[in-house]
Chain A
Amino acid sequence: MHDMYNMYGKNWRVSKAFVLLILALIITTSSVLIYFQALNLMQPTETYTTTPTVTPTITPPWSDVTLSGAGASFLAPQMIEWSRILAESKGLKVEYQSVGSGAGRDMFFNKVVHFAGSDPPLTKEQYMRYVGKVMQLPIVVGSIAIIYNVPELPSDRSICLSSDLIALIYKGEVTYWDDQRILDLNPGLSGILPHREIVAVHRSDSSGTTAVFTTYLNKASPGIWTSNLVGFTIDWPVDATGRGIGGKGNEGVTQAVKTTPYSLGYVELSYAITQGLPTAAIRNSEGMCVKPTNQTILNAVRNSALLLPQSPLDDWSDVLARMLNPPGKDSYPIVSFSYIFIYRAYPDKNVVEALREFIKWINTEGQERMVPGYLPIPKEVREINLKAVDLLEVGES
């Protein structure tokens, strides 16, 4: 009897301890929540007072909408930059996840996110399936740089490569850095380029960068790089020779080239710039060796004299191939657009308003807020994109 009494007493203490623990948990969680909520509330009010364009009395229709986007990792830094500016200046919330072009499209078509980011446009086949429903807007100009690691090469000298040479290197047919075909293009480098095997680094994951790069090789050197070697992931012929290395993401390729002497790889230009790696000049369609700079990339976009589709609702599938290897003596040959996909109609009126504001802003002011390595789209393209603002409507998507 005594024991049992004691036991209940002890257990009473135990359960009291449990109750206290749970209470403590609830209190800490809620206080943390309240604290962060307060932080959250503070931020817009701060900026509202500093921005004269937004009057504090009228709340914009997008104030309780968060636009979500997903897709190409290439677009992520620019999107992050834009979304922060939009949040601070207009209170428009946009969140972009970098999951890759393929996964982003999947989320978009499953209506899990409001918009998708993609390096290549929809293929003709995909376009036909969504014709009239999905709009494609090219919003930044990107470019792929060939980076290399040849310790013997002084930093003030750069190497020039042609599409034929790049294709042959990735096919494993040009083996050494002092190959006669490389020296023919770089007469000044004979005696400097070593007799070493070239290690070709490529992406191991499915990637829009690979799609653009292989499309370029196929367009500029169709005799060497056949169309079965074009796509998001391909079987690299150089791997069979044992001189090919795969890297995950632009970061992986950059690291592999950095740490492997006598290697070469292809990455988005921003990685070459921020990591300080030398970039190769590439021989363009008029036989000039051109390095990737803002000017040469812009020249390429202008000179491609594109017969661009005139509406975001049109088929953009062949724009990628048309833009690569454009005419012009000062054009860098590997340039492409990156796109966002939106639906023409969304059921929620506030989402439509938010998207209108978003599209309007990124095609006007946003184009002046570019992150290094990204270039603004030409004026003509902005005008085409702005048509999407009027095309957007409330309805079933």
Chain B
Amino acid sequence: MFRSYFIRKLKNYLMLSLAIFVSVLAVIPLFSMLYMVIVEGGKVLLDAGLSFITELPPTPLSSSIGGVAPALLGSVLASTLAIAISGPIAFLVAFFVTEFKNSSFSKISEVVVRSFSGIPSIIVSMFVYSTVVMRMGTQSLFAGSLSLAIVALPYAYVYFTSAMKSIPESLREAAMSLGMSRFKALRYVYVGVSKKYILTGILMSYIKAFGETAPLLFTMGFLMNSVFAGFLQPSNALPILVFIYALSPYEVFHKVAWGATLLLIIIYLVLFSLARSLLKGVKL
């Protein structure tokens, strides 16, 4: 009896150490990547200081690092616009699908929106290129935002659905029994109850849009000689800048790419921890 107890203990320890080992293994690449970016990008950010977010990107013969102003502004504007477009659509679809679970329309839209997340984002880029960019005759911040909106839509939808599902059935019934219409219930009860989930959803899809490269490749264009050219004019984005500058042979370009990567990660971590802290506060 003691033997079997010992063996069980041993098995437990073995499996436990295996699990710890595997999870450390999984985390190592992440941390080594973070470490690389912080060391390399940190040097650049410290070196350039605040001018890194206010100046124009360097040219091959530039002696100074310059900055990423057009890309930073382009990223912020494009992702904001993208969420402004996809957020309300995703929210309404999520509301409809959770409220009218059995309608065939909601079943179809559920499948359609979820399948959006499986589309490779480069195809979204080609789609917006052939429908919007070619018709407008130029790449633009607007086209880039549309592309990002399509990519962010399923993410926003998933978050909003879980927000809607987080509403206790009792509150739903209470609202109905007071004679509220569904939209009144949404306006006065559901939004209030799930507002933190909704905010988290907005933030998470914003992060998703912020870090995407492929949807912008053919739609956004490139801008590096002025900070902002207009909503219907080509613009720039941090991931595009990193993509193009990292592939060049010039040292100064590589530095900017490292700095921009660190900037992206900082923005990502800030928004992500904000979203996490919002979720933590949810109590019912």
Contacts and interface: CB of A to CB of B under 8 A. Distances in A.
Interface of A: 4, 7-8, 10-11, 14, 18, 25, 29, 32-33, 36-37, 39-40, 43, 66, 68, 70, 73, 76-78, 80-81, 83-84, 87, 93-99, 103, 107, 110-113, 249-251, 254, 270-271, 273-275, 371-373
Q: Tell me which of B137, B178, B225, B226 has the highest count of chain A C-beta atoms within 10 A of its own C-beta.
A: B225
Given A68-B139, A94-B225, A11 B244 contact: no
B160 interface: no
Contacts of B228: 33, 36-37, 40
A99 B220 CA distance: 12
B80 A40 contact: no
Given A32-B73, A40-B226, A93-B229, 19 more contacts: A7-B188, A8-B188, A11-B187, A14-B192, A32-B76, A33-B73, A36-B227, A39-B227, A68-B221, A84-B56, A84-B225, A95-B223, A95-B225, A250-B247, A250-B249, A270-B249, A271-B249, A273-B249, A373-B249
B91 interface: no
Q: Give the top 6 A-B pairs by smallest Cβ distance, nearest first.
A: A97-B222, A87-B225, A274-B249, A77-B60, A271-B249, A14-B192
A154 to B, nearest CB: 25
A253 to B, nearest CB: 11
B249 A29 contact: no
A250 B162 CA distance: 46
Interface of B: 54, 56, 59-61, 69, 73, 76-77, 80, 129, 133-134, 137-139, 178, 187-189, 191-192, 195, 217-218, 221-229, 233-234, 244, 246-251
30 contacts: A8-B188, A10-B192, A11-B189, A14-B192, A25-B80, A36-B227, A37-B228, A39-B227, A40-B227, A66-B233, A68-B138, A70-B222, A73-B247, A76-B244, A80-B59, A81-B60, A83-B224, A84-B56, A84-B59, A87-B226, A97-B221, A98-B244, A98-B247, A103-B218, A250-B247, A251-B246, A251-B248, A251-B249, A270-B249, A274-B250
Contacts of B217: 99
A33 B195 CA distance: 28
A226 B187 CA distance: 72
B71 to A, nearest CB: 12
Contacts of A83: 224-225
Given A11-B188, A251-B247, A254-B249, A112 B139 contact: yes
Nearest to B62: A84
Contacts of A43: 56, 226
A39 B192 contact: no
Contacts, number: 121
B187 to A, nearest CB: 8
Contacts of A373: 249
Nearest to A10: B192
Nearest to B57: A80
A80 B60 contact: yes
Nearest to B198: A18
A contact face: mostly helix, strand, loop, or mixed:
helix
A112 B225 contact: no
B192 A11 contact: yes
Contacts of B225: 83-84, 87, 93-95
B227 A112 contact: no
Contacts of B218: 99, 103, 107
B contact face: mostly helix, strand, loop, or mixed:
loop
Contacts of A66: 226, 229, 233-234
A364 to B, nearest CB: 19
Given A251-B248, A270-B249, A39 B188 contact: no
B234 A80 contact: no
B15 to A, nearest CB: 38
Contacts of B222: 70, 95-98
Nearest to B81: A29
B219 to A, nearest CB: 10
Contacts of B233: 66
Given A36-B69, A66-B234, A68-B139, A112 B133 contact: yes
Contacts of B54: 39
Contacts of B249: 77, 250-251, 254, 270-271, 273-275, 373
Contacts of B134: 110-112
B275 to A, nearest CB: 14
B50 to A, nearest CB: 12
Contacts of B76: 29, 32
Contacts of B73: 32-33, 36
A57 to B, nearest CB: 22
A112 B126 CA distance: 13
A81 B226 contact: no
Nearest to A254: B249
Contacts of A11: 187-189, 192
Q: Tell me which of B187, B195, B222 has the highest count of chain A C-beta atoms within 10 A of its own C-beta.
A: B222
A7 B174 CA distance: 12
Contacts of B133: 112
B267 to A, nearest CB: 14
Nearest to A112: B133
Contacts of A103: 218
Contact of A93 (B59, B69, B226): B226
A251 B249 CA distance: 7
Nearest to B247: A251
A371 B60 contact: yes
A164 to B, nearest CB: 29
Contact of A95 (B221, B227, B251): B221
Contact of B80 (A4, A14, A29, A70): A29
